[in-house]
Amino acid sequence: MKNLPIFKTLLVVFLIGIMALGFFASKKKPVAPNVAKTSVEATLSETGTSETLSPYEAEQKRLQKKTEDYAFYNTAVESLDITACDRIIGDDTLKTQCADNVYSAQASKEKDVTLCDKITDTTTKARCTNSFAYDSALVSGKQSDCDKITLDSDLKNACMKNIVFAKIENAGFSGTVDTCASLTGADKDYCVGRISKGTDIELLQKGINNKDIATCGQIQDTSMKNTCADTVYMTLALEKQDGSFCAKIIDAARKTNCTTQFARVNDANILSKALSENNLPLCATITTSELKAKCSDTLLLKTGVANRDTATCAKIVDTGARKQCDDAVKLILEQTNKSK
């Protein structure tokens, strides 16, 4: 009975050993399957030979071949060399894409729409022919030619829109807002506004050239209408020597400018008249200070010298003119005295 604990101990050790053996057995590397089932038979088309590769080697070879194919693709597209596409082996989709893109680029570069017919993919072919249809429509200026654009509604709409915009931006355009009928939204708003603005500009030029306030009144744009009227009123004020026209000007800055210019022109006329008539009192009616001083100084100088009157010279405002007057009077008096 005393040996029972020892037996139990041995039994426990034996069971642990069996469990450990089972554990390590489960971790053991699996036996390699039949090589004939997992190896890969790779055929090299360039050499016509075949070799047996492992899955890893086969994958690496496949990736290398794909890299080479993409290199041929890039070379073909960059140099527009269709023969480079023929070197793509084993990937018909990539080979077709290569050829399509080369033909499309060649068509664009050589301006040859017939090259688009060689394209296989429907979308790529449409994109190629649409480019020619778009350019042709803009040249003809006919929106009906935009209908030749297929599978691309955005490009067709852009074609229609740009033909209208080209018309209204033309210097010789004389149409109405009906030209904008095919447009919608912001495009139509711009078109209508542009035509209206063009009409307003014509009226502005006509109103100013003819000095016709009634023509200015036909302008729709308020700012342009005011500019037209203000310019006409200013012109009339100066031409007719009538300051009342300046009062009709709306813009404050233009009104001030009109008043200033009118006053200066009017004062210049008074100055000219005063000098020609030797009318000193008339100088007092001049509002521009420098012209008023010039008017009175000129007549005082003339009168002072003529009358040999230094008192008259003393009334001259300009220092240089006053000295000129005094010197002239003194010289005349000295010569008079000597002659006696």
Region 33-62: mean pLDDT is: 59
Length of the chain: 340
Kindly report the number of other CB atoms within 10 A of residue 37's CB atom: 6
Number of structural domains the chain divides into: 2
The one-letter amino acid code at 282 reads L
Residues 235 and 229 sit within 8 Å (Cβ to Cβ): no
Evaluate whether residue 281 is within a structural domain: yes
- Model confidence band, residue 19 (pLDDT cutoffs 50, 70, 90): low
Residue ending a domain, among 210, 231, 248, is: 248
**Confidence check: pLDDT of 305 > 70:** yes
Spatial separation of the C-alpha atoms in residues 282 and 124, rounded to whole Å: 88
User: Residue 132: pLDDT above 50?
Assistant: yes
* Residue finishing a domain among 195, 213, 248: 248
Residue 5 included in any domain = no
Which band of pLDDT confidence, cut at 50, 70 and 90, is reported for residue 196? confident
pLDDT, residue 31, reads: 42
For the residues 125-146, what does the mean pLDDT come to?
Answer: 95
Q: What is the per-residue pLDDT for 276?
A: 93
Amino acid 170: pLDDT: 86
Domain span at 214: 174-248
Residue 264, pLDDT score? 87
Residues 273 and 306 occupy one common structural domain = yes
Query: Is the domain of 179 the same as that of 239?
Result: yes
- 261 vs 28 pLDDT, higher one: 261
Residue 28 lies in a domain: no
> What is the average per-residue pLDDT within 60-67?
87
Residue 131, pLDDT > 90, answer: yes
CA distance between the termini of the chain: 183
pLDDT score recorded for residue 16: 55
Which pair of tokens denotes residue 54? 């492992």
Tell me: pLDDT of 28 over 50. Answer: no
Q: Does the structure show a pLDDT above 70 at 47?
A: no
Under a CB-based contact definition with an 8 Å cutoff, are residues 77 and 66 in contact? no
pTM of model > 0.85: no
Please check whether residues 238 and 256 belong to one and the same domain: no
Residue 223 inside a domain? The answer is: yes
- 311 and 285, same structural domain? yes
Instruction: Let me know if residue 279 belongs to a domain.
Output: yes
Residue 260 lies in a domain: yes
Residue 38: pLDDT band with limits 50, 70, 90: very low
Q: Is residue 160 part of a domain?
A: no
Please determine, for residue 11, whether its predicted confidence score (pLDDT) is greater than 70. Answer: no
Supply the mean pLDDT for the chain.
84
pLDDT at 26: 47
Please say if the pLDDT value at position 325 is more than 80.
Answer: yes
Domain boundary among 216, 248, 280: 248
pLDDT at 23 over 50: no
pLDDT in the model for residue 45: 43
For the stretch 197-226, pLDDT in tens is 878 888 899 999 999 999 999 888 899 999
**pLDDT higher than 50, residue 238:** yes
Report pLDDT for 40: 43
What is the rounded CA–CA span in Å between residue 195 and residue 43? 72
**What's residue 233's pLDDT?**
95
Question: How does pLDDT run across 79-112, given as a tens digit for each residue?
Answer: 999 999 999 988 999 999 999 999 999 999 999 9
| CA–CA separation, 200 and 179 (whole Å) | 17
Does 279 share its domain with 325? yes
Band (pLDDT 50/70/90 cuts) for residue 339 is: confident
Percent of the chain with pLDDT over 90: 59
- In a domain, residue 43? The reply is no
Same domain assignment for residues 241 and 255: no
Please say whether the beta carbons of 152 and 130 come within 8 A.
Answer: yes
Let me know the angle formed at the C-alpha of 183 by 182 and 187, rounded to the nearest 5 degrees: 160
pLDDT at 246: 94
Q: How far is CA 234 from CA 250, 260, 328, in A?
A: 11, 11, 45
Torsion over CA of 271, 275, 278 and 282, rounded to 10 degrees?
Answer: 0
